[in-house]
């Protein structure tokens, strides 16, 4: 089956907040907010939006760095910028992005969020803050959710687990040097103890950022497996089987 044609645009989401939108033409929208990793709203993040559009979803990536992007070689600059992200501001921007997807035609009960690294943590937090608006939340290697030792200004999020409303998917690499297996265990325990619906998948041989197709960390078998898991999760939570045809 041929994928539907895409429409993409950069647009204003709210005052001072822009973003990148990709959607299929003539297909009713399920809306997905895409939260970027530490390097900003770059080609990878736009590519994720377009992947969702090819699968029949609308996808909107808010530019929570407000114009700043960093080369993959500038890890120090990107990490410093992550430390400047305010959770409360980011959650307001997620809320504005959900509003925009609704304005673009996403139906009630047809909103979700996905994020990568920094964005994976923010997607998890959004499930606590905006979970009543979400059908699903997906975190690809979200760092800082349940670290043994907090890093910088980012607060661990395990204490927010009771507030989660939507089904939560967490995907990690077994060879991720920055997120060890003990963190997976703390997250799983908190979610199970709080009686939450979740899926936690760990992919062998995968390093951190294994899904970022234009980084040296890209691991194609893990990335392909992770996307199959993610789309299956969306199909299950949205009960939208046809959408998987373009994954």
Q: Does residue 168 form part of some domain?
A: yes
Q: Does residue 188 form part of some domain?
A: yes
Written as six digits, the tokens of 100 are 């925009």
What DSSP string describes 112-143?
Answer: EEEEETHHHHHHHHHHHHSGGG-SEEEEES-T
Q: Given the DSSP bridges, would you call strands 6-14 and 136-140 parallel, antiparallel or unpaired?
A: unpaired
Helices (H), 69-180: 75-82, 87-103, 118-129
Q: Does residue 109 form part of some domain?
A: yes
- φ/ψ of 35, rounded to 5, equals -95, 125
Q: Does residue 246 form part of some domain?
A: no
pLDDT of residue 222: 98
Known catalytic residue: 184? no
pLDDT of residue 219: 98
pLDDT of residue 2: 66
How far is residue 51 from each of residues 126, 182, 247, measured CA to CA in Å? 22, 32, 7
Q: What is the domain extent for residue 185? A: 6-240
Q: Does residue 1 form part of some domain?
A: no
Name residue, tokens 């910028």: 81
pLDDT of residue 28: 63
Residue 180 has what DSSP assignment?
Answer: -
Known catalytic residue: 63? no
Cβ-proximal residues to 74 (8 Å cutoff; 6+ apart), any chain: 39
- Which of 117, 130, 184, 219 is the catalytic position? 117
Q: Does residue 245 form part of some domain?
A: no
Known catalytic residue: 117? yes
Which residues of the chain fall below pLDDT 70?
Answer: 1-4, 27-28, 239-247
- Which of 49, 63, 130, 176 is the catalytic position? 176
Q: Does residue 204 form part of some domain?
A: yes
- Which of 130, 184, 208, 219 is the catalytic position? 208
Domain count of the fold of the chain: 1
pLDDT of residue 243: 44
Q: Does residue 159 form part of some domain?
A: yes
Angle at 232 between CA 205 and CA 187, to 5 degrees: 60
193-228 residue pLDDT tens = 999 999 999 999 999 999 999 999 999 999 999 999
User: What is the CATH classification number for the domain harbouring 84?
Assistant: 3.40.50.1820
């Amino acid at each position: 089956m041929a994928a539907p044609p895409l429409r993409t645009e950069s647009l204003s989401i709210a005052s001072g907040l822009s973003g990148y939108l990709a959607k299929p033409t003539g297909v009713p929208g399920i809306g997905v907010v895409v939260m970027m990793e530490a390097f900003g709203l770059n080609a990878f993040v736009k590519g994720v939006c377009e992947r969702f559009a090819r699968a029949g979803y609308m996808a909107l990536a808010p530019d929570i760095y407000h114009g700043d992007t960093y080369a993959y070689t500038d890890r120090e600059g990107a990490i410093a910028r992550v430390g400047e992200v305010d959770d409360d501001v980011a959650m307001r921007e997620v809320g504005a992005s959900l509003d925009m997807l609704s304005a673009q035609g996403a139906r009630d009960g047809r909103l979700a969020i996905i994020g990568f690294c920094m964005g994976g943590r923010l997607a998890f937090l959004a499930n606590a803050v905006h979970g009543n608006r979400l059908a699903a939340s997906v975190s690809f290697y979200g760092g800082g959710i349940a670290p043994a030792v907090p890093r910088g200004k980012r607060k661990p999020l395990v204490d927010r687990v009771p507030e989660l409303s939507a089904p939560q998917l967490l995907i990690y690499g077994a060879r991720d040097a920055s997120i060890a297996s003990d963190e997976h265990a703390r997250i799983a325990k908190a979610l199970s103890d709080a009686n939450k619906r979740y899926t936690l998948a760990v992919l062998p041989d995968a390093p951190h950022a294994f899904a970022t197709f234009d980084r040296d960390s890209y691991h194609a078998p893990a990335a392909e497996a992770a996307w199959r898991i993610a789309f299956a999760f969306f199909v299950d939570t949205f009960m939208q089987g046809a959408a998987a045809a373009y994954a």
